[in-house]
Chains A and B, each alone.
Chain A
Amino acid sequence: MSWVLIVEQSLNGLQFGLMLFLLAAGLTLVFGVMDMINLAHGSLYMLGAFLAAALVQATGSFALGVLLAIPATAAIGMLLEMSVLRTLYARDHLSQVLATFALILIFNEAVRIVWGSDMPLAMPAALSGPVELLPGMFYPAYRLLIIGVGAAVAALLYLLVARTKIGMRVRAGASNREMALAMGVDIRRLFTLLFGVGAGLCAVAGALLGPLLAVQVGMGENILILAFVVIVIGGIGSIRGALVGAVLVGLVDTIGRAFLPLLFGLFFQPRVASAAGPAIASVLAYLLMVAVLVFRPRGLFPARG
């Protein structure tokens, strides 16, 4: 059990957590401010990845493709909000779940029709090698980029929400929607903008994770579940909660995946240890959620009250 291993696994957990944050941030704002459960958030993540892959192919440049995919996905997100999702705000959560679940299926097949079941997206060649962080401690350059971008976006979001007028209105809407309406906040425009920002964040995560995972139909579903766990742990409507929750879940999941099989390997055969390890590791995230809810039923940093 060397310190190199622990540092490397912690960095892996941080990288995963920051990408989860990008998804959770959009999701928690939509749930917190608009009181809408949006299962199609994972589909926006998938759409962002496919758009990035297509634009990278078209422009020949990774950076350009990813940068262009962000406003493209945001635009589609806003169109979606203005056309379909607006009708769901007044309805109960179950209707929202049903409707947005249908959207997942529609998006999956639509993407399959337009682009096929998967698309290649390769990381830029300059970043495909390792970086020597400390003597003897190598870490893939691309993952460092992800950590950097994730941290930068978190900082930008903080500035946006805490230091701008729009951010103030968002926080107002999250703490008390009716009062915010009464105080003259233009809720309709705010919601559309919020949705667009959430979609853009999804696109960043999708485009950056594309080279590591695969850009394929259905890639949004798995990460969506974890994103919901994150926002429950962090507190609905709170960006700070989403960040803390995401990093916690990312670390617990990665370190669990890394060390539980080792632990089980002491008692069980390799095949059993290798199957049980990741299975229990994925349960750890939910156990963490239960533990947090026991002590803080509204999450770590609830936006209301």
Chain B
Amino acid sequence: MKNPLLTAVVVSIAAASLPAQGADKVKIGFISTLSGPSAALGVDIRDAFMLAVKLNGGKLGGLPAEVLIGDDQFKPEVGRQLAEKDVKLDKVDFLTGFVFSNIMLASVPVAFENKIIYISPNAAPSPLAGKQCNPYFFAASWPNDAYHEAAGQHATTKGYRSVYMLAPNYQAGKDSLEGFKRFYKGSIAGEVYTQLGQLDYSAELAQVRAAKPEAVYIFLPGGMGINFIKQFVGAGLSKDIQLITPGFSSDQDIIRAVGDPMLGTFDAAHWALDLDNAANKKFVAAFESEYKRLPTVYASQGYDTALLIDSAVREVKGKIENTEGVRKALKAAKFQSVRGAFKFNRNQYPIQNYYLRVVGRDSQGRLVNKTIGTIFKDRGDAYVQDCPMK
């Protein structure tokens, strides 16, 4: 060549204009409830998700991961705005993060319309498990009813003759009490739906006292549960009435806020700190060393969501533009979950075990949930038969 500099310039321009081999990074839109009385849930999911990315060297499936974090402030309209921005403006490859079913249901349609996959680290309502199942929706957590079915089964096994039930008046609340009633065969002393976000339960607690049930079952996540349990104990009701909760209402965030009155509370969940598998041991140790607190079940789900995305991106060898390929890879779920074995049902909801836990003290004297038995093995959900997906 006569002019080496010109050659170099021409070659580098030619090289720069070659099409990229697959994407050069994976963009995740992460929107969750990071403020308000129930922020602890979103913060745990986010922290665990980012921990998984960090332990993977800042990558998911071999591609550098860029996570755009947004706070829905517990408001559906804010969640929807952020989802639209992530999907349309920032062109994320995956959307994830929502804690609450109502905010999620308002926000994910924009993802479905644009063929962006949403992987839920928490909310997984029954309509999306059954008739309205959607190929772009994956639940990395559990079906909304699951913990409640397990708790109802436990209440039946323990022989409580009457149970008074409370849940907030939104999709997940309705799912929760339906799930409990599906497996609880005793008598219902009361079925009350409170306002979502309600923090003063004086009126409801007076009714509970008047109804004199043997047990009270509550689904009140986050700040709602903290206030209810404190007021339940404050009203003197905990002496005569057993409190049963799903794992949500007795996990580390509630334990931290309520303290010793939680000792002896029974709850049902798909995961616990003491589950004996290598992935879980690594997760709990890493989370505690990074954030100086014990992880909740929400954190375990956030971590699993990141591992799931990692496995799918790895399966398609970085070609995440191939949405159908990514979907198949997600459905295969080839990763080591902190809950043990993980597999998806044909409606893209998990099939897994549910354990009975009790709040006790660990070897360091801290209040934790200890696994004391298995309630269900390999349970799916009650809605899969209505889902047309294969």
Residues of A in contact with B (beta carbons under 8 Å apart): 1-2, 4-5, 8-9, 12, 15, 116-118, 120, 128-130, 132, 138-143, 212-214, 216, 254, 257-258, 261-262, 270-271, 274-275, 278
Contact = CB atoms under 8 A, between A and B. Distances in A.
Interface centre among A138, A274, A275 (most CB of B within 10 A): A274
Contacts of A143: 202
Contacts of B206: 5, 8-9, 12, 258
Contact of A118 (B36, B174, B192, B235): B36
Leading 5 A-B pairs by shortest Cβ distance: A130-B236, A274-B193, A117-B35, A138-B236, A270-B191
Nearest to B259: A125
Nearest to B73: A117
B199 A261 contact: no
Contact of A254 (B39, B194, B195, B203): B203
B91 interface: no
A227 B174 CA distance: 33
A12 B202 contact: yes
B82 to A, nearest CB: 15
B199 A213 contact: yes
A274 B209 contact: no
B234 interface: yes
A124 B278 CA distance: 42
Contact of B169 (A139, A140, A274): A274
Interface in B198-223: 199-200, 202-203, 206-207, 209-210, 223
Interface string B220-237: 000100010011011110
A216 B37 contact: yes
25 contacts: A12-B203, A118-B35, A118-B36, A129-B234, A129-B236, A130-B235, A130-B236, A132-B236, A138-B209, A138-B235, A139-B235, A140-B231, A141-B234, A143-B202, A212-B231, A213-B199, A214-B223, A216-B37, A261-B192, A262-B207, A270-B191, A270-B192, A274-B192, A274-B193, A275-B169
Contacts of A214: 36-37, 199, 223, 227
A12 B231 CA distance: 13
Contacts of A12: 202-203, 206
Chain B contact-residue range equals 20 to 34
Contacts of B207: 5, 258, 262
Contacts of B73: 117
Contacts of A129: 233-234, 236
Contact of A142 (B35, B210, B234): B234
A1 B207 CA distance: 9
A140 B199 contact: no
A212 B199 contact: yes
Contacts of A132: 236
Contacts of A254: 202-203
A271 to B, nearest CB: 6
A167 to B, nearest CB: 33
B203 A4 contact: no
A278 B195 contact: yes
B364 to A, nearest CB: 23
Given A5-B209, A9-B206, A278-B195, A271 B169 contact: yes
Given A117-B73, A128-B230, A129-B234, A257 B191 contact: no
Nearest to A212: B200
Contacts of B193: 270-271, 274-275
A258 B208 CA distance: 11
A212 B228 CA distance: 10
B222 to A, nearest CB: 10
A8 B169 CA distance: 24
A274 B194 contact: yes
B209 A4 contact: yes
Given A8-B209, A130-B235, A274-B169, A116 B35 contact: yes
A304 B77 CA distance: 45
Contacts of A258: 203, 206-207
Contacts of A128: 230, 233-234
Contacts of B231: 140, 212
B200 A213 contact: yes
Contact of B234 (A1, A130, A271, A274): A130
Contacts of A275: 169, 193
Interface in B229-249: 230-231, 233-236
Nearest to B194: A274
A130 B202 CA distance: 13
A274 B36 CA distance: 24
A140 B202 CA distance: 9
B342 to A, nearest CB: 33
A257 B37 CA distance: 23
A143 B201 CA distance: 12
Given A138-B235, A214-B37, A2 B202 contact: no
Nearest to A15: B202
A194 B79 CA distance: 42
Given A128-B233, A278-B195, 8 more contacts: A8-B202, A15-B202, A116-B35, A117-B36, A117-B73, A129-B233, A138-B236, A216-B37
Nearest to A1: B210
A143 B200 CA distance: 11
Contacts of B199: 212-214
Interface centre among B36, B203, B209, B230 (most CB of A within 10 A): B203
B255 to A, nearest CB: 14
A151 B209 CA distance: 27
A132 B210 CA distance: 16
A118 B37 contact: yes
